[in-house]
Amino acid sequence: MTAFVDPERTQFEAFKALDRDHPIEMLNLVKFRAKAKYPADHELAGAGLTGAQAYRNYGAETAPIIARLGASILWRGAYQTTLIGPQNEDWDEVFVARYPTAHAFLEMVTDPAYQAAVIHRQAAVETSRLIRCTPTKSGEAFG
């Protein structure tokens, strides 16, 4: 499985080029490392945390930021299996985060407290997918 932890510059630029003045929902698919991988000089480098434990640190430190911005976890589920798609991908966290606007998401990722907390995510994550969506009308049928 190819590792994707942080956005590449071109992906981030494409994200920023989209309309920012409406709600967005971010589909998050996250696979943890067995052992968290902090930089050698980080205070938790030798703590022996699992990826899941490091990700919980990330969640705890970012929760106040998310709340302040009016964002929330819209939906969370426990991964079971992939019916259509690569069979070598499985996920430890699957959730949809809702942001009131893309501006709010960009404010989050540039917030100094968030930038300090993201070290936990980087230590925790083996690979991930973060997919921006625009909310649309729900219904009773596909398509």
- Condensed to tens digits (0 to 9), the pLDDT of residues 45-92 reads 999 999 999 999 999 999 999 999 999 999 999 999 999 999 999 999
Range 128-134 average pLDDT:
97
Q: Which CATH topology does 24-133 take?
A: Alpha-Beta Plaits (3.30.70)
Reference 119, options 60, 65, 55; nearest CA is: 55
Average pLDDT, the chain: 95
What is the band of 125 on the pLDDT scale with cuts at 50, 70, 90? very high
Range 30-43 average pLDDT:
98
Contacts 24+ apart (CB under 8 A), 89-94: 89/1, 89/29, 89/31, 90/31, 91/29, 91/30, 91/31, 92/30, 92/31, 92/32, 92/51, 92/52, 93/28, 93/29, 93/30, 93/32, 93/55, 94/28, 94/29, 94/30
What is the band of 2 on the pLDDT scale with cuts at 50, 70, 90? confident
> Which residue matches tokens 């966290």?
93
Task: Give me the percent of the chain exceeding a pLDDT of 90.
Answer: 92
